[in-house]
A and B are shown apart, each in its own frame.
Chain A
Amino acid sequence: MGYDAQLLESIRRVEATRSTRMGQQFSRLTADEKTALLKGYHPDYKAGTMRELAVGPNAGDRVPHELADLLEGRSRIDPDFDLSCIDYDVDVLVIGGGGAGTSAAILAHERGAKVLLVTKLRLGDANTMMAQGGIQAADKPNDSPAIHYLDVMGGGGFQNIPELVAALTKDAPAAIKWLEELGAMFDKQPDGTMVSIHGGGTARRRMHSARDYSGAEIMRTLRDEFRNRQIPYREFTSAVELLLDSKGQCAGAVLCDMETEELRVVRAKAVILATGGMGRLHVQQFPCTNHYGATADGLVIGYRAGAKMVFMDAVQYHPTGVAYPEQIVGQLVTEKVRGLGAQLVNAKGECFIFDLETRDTVSSAIIRECLERKNGVQTNTGMHGVWLDSPMIEMIRGDGTIAKALPAMMRQYARFDIDMRRLPILVYPTQHYQNGGLLIAADSETVVPNLYAAGEVSGGVHGRNRLMGNSLLDIIVFGRRAGMAVAERIGNVKQGTLTLDHVRGYQADLMAAGRDSGQKAPMLLPNYLRPETIGRRGNGQG
């Protein structure tokens, strides 16, 4: 397959300017330039893409239409669902089997809690598994949590919640140490020193990695440890509503077996939502880097139960999603590629932005370059893109760097006959991360008593824009905090009667506000069937 003639010709122009570009750095933007760029070109600012919610804790706040459709959607169960028969009676219910969920479950279980973890796909099916570049922590002598704090704040637009940022940066070294002790295989020097590089927006080289399988290595290790401890869990089991009790506490959930479609009731003294992000909502029809199950389920059921969200109008687009070949469009090309020295280059062979600005900045710059300045490349399927000059990595850091540091990516492109060591790759922004989410305190608790949230589903720590390497950190830090917090909380919980009144009330509020998207929510899984297929089905449903 490889590149077609048109793309190869474009690549010649990239190669022609390489020697002049190498060693030069495009100047960083001032704060004002950055603001103007974002306002002009970032998808969050595009008119008509968001609407105000009418109902719930965030009434009046704007969120993307795709999310609003779910928040204004219909429950999958009847609020009169019989809750008298309890199928699982536990201390802690963890909803989600990614990095945050498994960390939380391990910590809670370690402290004696009776835990049940449910996940709608398999244990480990999560965005965690796909994260590539690394995990930040200020553990080198020339660095400190305070310096890390400043980077996080600046990246987030200075709107991050201070307590959460302090928790993130203070716990970071301990999070890495925990993973190291569990046997996660971080890239290290022979003497044990962690290999660390810059990411976008960092003042210190504090990104720890495991080649470009950083998330997978963490997830595999956590999953193995979770299984070793024989913590009870059920796969292919989703949560379709949270339960409250007569005291207003979160008290469990209604589960749906994804294979048999049976509904079951879990009563729990505390619930941890670790349901991840929303890439599969395809905001503004962007492709995404996310896994199959990233459908905002936790936001939906949490919101119905009264949990407040923050920064839900801030969607992170990763600047470098695959733009060619078409089969893998949208998939992540880690920031590490730029961290190792590859430059973003337009169709004329020119640099147009400093490669390691924050993600929102670089994404906006690429969109401007392609759509307004018309300096991008367009593939034969109409996909826009700019070049990411990956051969520079081999030239700057020596032959074999890509094979050693980016084996997953090298393999991904090799499957389509593209050798990224010799030829640049085409990239365009792709929907990547939910910057905001359910608001939590430093112990991961939401505003709903006994309802906790950890990982991508939670909001506040990253402000309006997350830095690379802080998501893997977020899930470990707040996953652990959630696990520790619930273990302490459950001893003091007196449960009331289980109820779905909040769902009834929410549906009524929606009706009164005249809002009904008609969609069933939570989405659980995206529907990629063609309209023709759906039309031919006897029940007319996808």
Chain B
Amino acid sequence: MAAETVQFYLMGKPHAVPKGLTIQKAMEYAGFRQLRGCGCRGGFCGACGTVYRTAGDYKLKVGLACQTVVEDQMYLALIPFFPAVKANYSIEDLPPTAETIISLYPEVLRCVGCNSCRKVCPQEIEVMRYIAAAQRGDIARVANLSFDCLMCGLCASRCPAEIVQYNVAILARRLYSRHIAKPAVHLAARVEEIERGGCDADLASMMAATDADLKRMYAARVIEPEEL
């Protein structure tokens, strides 16, 4: 039984492919060997942000080419790159405030609240809301709302205020983690212990242990129980 085929348009040119392929695999089926616009192929890296329309519908839709199945009459283009502005900073020197964000990305105040960024986000992140939070210095909220961001750049491509939202977001996440979230005290203590040489003796005896000893120790390990 012949597989069903669907037709999609890549930058205006039609290609017929078997039904059920992702956009990425459909492009390869159609004969394109990809360089730009192909990264992890698993939905994490933001290389394959795709904008498309479907027949008879003016609404602009988005997806990741590696995770989106081709629909019949899909009319698409990948946007593997969009020019951005990125500030350079030393994260340790920056206070976690609205002033920091505004001084590095003053255009963040130009937001008109149109929500185009949210509509074009393939991860369905509440981009406008985190920009609003950034404007008023709610760094923790920016960090939490933006966490799943792949930095694909589609938001920046659509913003009438020309904000590069994902760069504001990563600044906020780093500010949050560095200056707002509490440092892990146990971690600092262990690092200090290791620097003092406090763990050297045990490691040395591990390194010197015979195969037989190691196997015995391994089998006799006491496993920390699950915390529930």
- Name A's B-contacting residues (CB within 8 A): 1, 31, 121-122, 124-125, 129-130, 137-142, 144-147, 149-151, 153-154, 158, 162-163, 165-166, 169-170, 173-174, 176-177, 180-186, 188, 190-194, 198, 203-205, 211, 213, 215-216, 220-221, 224-225, 227-230, 236, 258-259, 289, 291-292, 326-328, 331-332, 341, 396-397, 407-408, 411-412, 415, 525, 527-530, 533, 536, 542
Task: Report how far A176 CA is from B183 CA in the complex, Å.
Answer: 11
Task: Report how far A205 CA is from B228 CA in the complex, Å.
Answer: 12
Task: Report how far A31 CA is from B34 CA in the complex, Å.
Answer: 45
A289 touches B42 (CB 8 A): yes
For residue B142, give the distance in angstroms from its CB to the closest CB of chain A: 11
Does B11 make an interface contact (CB < 8 A)?
no
- Stretch in contact with the other chain, from B25-33, B109-117, B127-135, B154-162: B25-33
B214 touches A150 (CB 8 A): yes
- From B31, B178, B185, B228, contact of A396 by CB (8 A): B228
* Chain B 71-121 residues near chain A, CB threshold 8 A: 86, 88-92
B187 touches A139 (CB 8 A): yes
* Chain B 10-59 residues near chain A, CB threshold 8 A: 20-22, 25, 28-29, 31, 33-36, 38-45, 47
Task: Report how far A173 CA is from B196 CA in the complex, Å.
Answer: 13
For residue B150, give the distance in angstroms from its CB to the closest CB of chain A: 8
Residue from A176, A331, A525, A542 with most neighbouring chain B CB atoms (10 Å): A331
Number of interface residues of B (CB under 8 A): 75
B228 touches A163 (CB 8 A): no
A291 touches B186 (CB 8 A): no
B206 touches A125 (CB 8 A): no
CB-defined contacts of A121 to chain B, threshold 8 Å: 38-39, 47
B39 touches A125 (CB 8 A): yes
CB-defined contacts of A194 to chain B, threshold 8 Å: 184, 186-187
B187 touches A180 (CB 8 A): yes
Task: Report how far A4 CA is from B90 CA in the complex, Å.
Answer: 52
B44 touches A130 (CB 8 A): yes
B174 touches A221 (CB 8 A): yes
Does B4 make an interface contact (CB < 8 A)?
no
23 A–B pairs (Cβ distance < 8 Å), ordered by A? A31-B215, A122-B39, A125-B39, A125-B45, A150-B218, A150-B221, A183-B173, A185-B147, A190-B182, A192-B181, A194-B187, A216-B44, A220-B173, A224-B171, A229-B88, A230-B88, A327-B67, A341-B226, A396-B228, A407-B148, A528-B25, A529-B28, A529-B31
Residue from A141, A291, A525 with most neighbouring chain B CB atoms (10 Å): A291
| CB contact under 8 A between A292 and B199, given known A158-B214, A193-B185 | no
B45 touches A130 (CB 8 A): yes
Task: Report how far A528 CA is from B21 CA in the complex, Å.
Answer: 13
A154 touches B214 (CB 8 A): yes
- From B40, B91, B143, B215, contact of A125 by CB (8 A): B40
CB-defined contacts of B224 to chain A, threshold 8 Å: 142, 198, 203-205
B89 touches A205 (CB 8 A): no
Task: Report how far A216 CA is from B150 CA in the complex, Å.
Answer: 8
B218 touches A162 (CB 8 A): no
- Name B's A-contacting residues (CB within 8 A): 20-22, 25, 28-29, 31, 33-36, 38-45, 47, 67-69, 86, 88-92, 123-124, 143, 147-148, 150-151, 170-171, 173-178, 181-188, 190-191, 194-195, 199, 202-203, 205-207, 211, 214-215, 217-219, 221-224, 226-228
CB-defined contacts of A227 to chain B, threshold 8 Å: 86, 88
A169 touches B203 (CB 8 A): yes
A530 touches B29 (CB 8 A): yes
B123 touches A411 (CB 8 A): yes
Task: Report how far A236 CA is from B123 CA in the complex, Å.
Answer: 26
B170 touches A186 (CB 8 A): no
- From A137, A146, A397, contact of B199 by CB (8 A): A146
The 10 closest A-B pairs by CB, nearest first: A192-B182, A183-B174, A146-B202, A154-B218, A183-B178, A162-B207, A291-B40, A533-B31, A183-B177, A139-B190
Q: Which residue of B lies closest to A293 (CB)?
A: B39
A185 touches B177 (CB 8 A): yes
- From A1, A145, A198, contact of B194 by CB (8 A): A145
Task: Report how far A447 CA is from B20 CA in the complex, Å.
Answer: 48
For residue B91, give the distance in angstroms from its CB to the closest CB of chain A: 5
Residue from B33, B187, B194 with most neighbouring chain A CB atoms (10 Å): B187
- From A170, A228, A415, contact of B203 by CB (8 A): A170
Task: Report how far A144 CA is from B203 CA in the complex, Å.
Answer: 9
A529 touches B33 (CB 8 A): yes
- From B29, B44, B186, contact of A213 by CB (8 A): B44
CB-defined contacts of A191 to chain B, threshold 8 Å: 182, 185
